[in-house]
Amino acid sequence: MTTESPASTATTSPVEAPPAAPTGNPALLGLPAFLVGGIGLTLYLFGYLPAAAVGTLVPMTLVVSGLGLLVAGWWAIRIGQGAVGAIFTVFATFWLSYAYLVLSLVNDWLKIPADDTATAQATFLIGWLAVFAVLTLATLRLPLAFTTLFTLVTITVALVLVATLTGSTGLLTIAGIGAALFCLVAIYIFVDGMTQELGGPARSMGNPLVH
């Protein structure tokens, strides 16, 4: 009489391969979303968009820049790019809060007295100036193009802050130049990313300031 071992009668089930990790380049979404708000802000600072029509910036900054950067930030975190995800999410919250500030001032939601409007705007700008300055310092290990982008954003916010406190339209124009420059840098980084995604050569991003 013979017996069969359990090992000989057991059926071997195939081992399922783990699902493929998500991939891609979140900057291909994040940078264009950032640019829509940046270009709108540039036109406002230059005076092309009059103060009476500042509400035009709300759909640009809320729907496009804010939500677009949130999606890009989530995408980056999903593929393990924590630093990129944090950067995109920080900028998303900036644009979302900026859109809310504009809506609040236009519709008087926060009931801020007219004499205190400049102080309220300055408080908003001071908070974000600190964040952008820290972000710039914290990312000095990135290629120079990114440091340049963050530096220009920080300078632009600083100029808008001083212009808000002093009422200087000339400083707003200079801030508009800063905004135009950081938009150009963002365009350069986006074109590089898209070119590489389509099989082209990488453009120079510059060496990091800190190794």
How far apart CA 75 and CA 135 sit, in angstroms, is 20
**In sequence order, what E strands does the chain have?**
none
Contact 179, 45 (CB under 8 A): yes
Written as tens digits, the pLDDT of the chain (211 aa) is: 455 555 544 455 566 666 666 678 999 999 999 999 999 999 999 999 999 999 999 999 999 999 999 999 999 999 999 999 999 999 999 999 999 999 999 999 999 999 999 999 999 999 999 999 999 999 999 999 999 999 999 999 999 999 999 999 999 999 999 999 999 999 999 999 999 999 999 999 999 999 8
| 79: number of Cβ within 10 Å | 15
